[in-house]
């Protein structure tokens, strides 16, 4: 099971921790934290990489690929 929480750091308290413990009772879990600015930077890098490594296709090639699938 995977659950994502988006909240302000001030909202982290013992109640939050207890709710996670109850949700994942007796299981190993991984907790990853990052700020929203970090996410926007990674998205920008991903878009730049995708653009740099993309190959333009014609409308005809697109329709041909759709017909094949």
pLDDT tens per residue, range 1-42:
888 888 899 999 999 999 999 999 999 999 888 777 777 788
Query: Does the model's pTM come out above 0.85?
Result: no
Residue-level pLDDT at 61: 84
- Determine the Cα–Cα distance for residues 48 and 42; give it in Å rounded to an integer: 10
Tell me the two tokens of residue 34. Answer: 């990052």
């Amino acid at each position: 099971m995977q659950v994502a929480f988006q909240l302000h750091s001030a909202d982290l308290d013992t109640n939050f921790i207890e709710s996670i413990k109850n949700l994942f009772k007796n299981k190993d879990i991984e907790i990853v934290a990052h700020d929203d600015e970090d996410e926007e930077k990674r998205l920008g890098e991903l878009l730049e990489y995708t653009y740099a490594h993309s190959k333009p296709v014609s409308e005809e090639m697109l329709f041909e690929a759709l017909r094949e699938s």
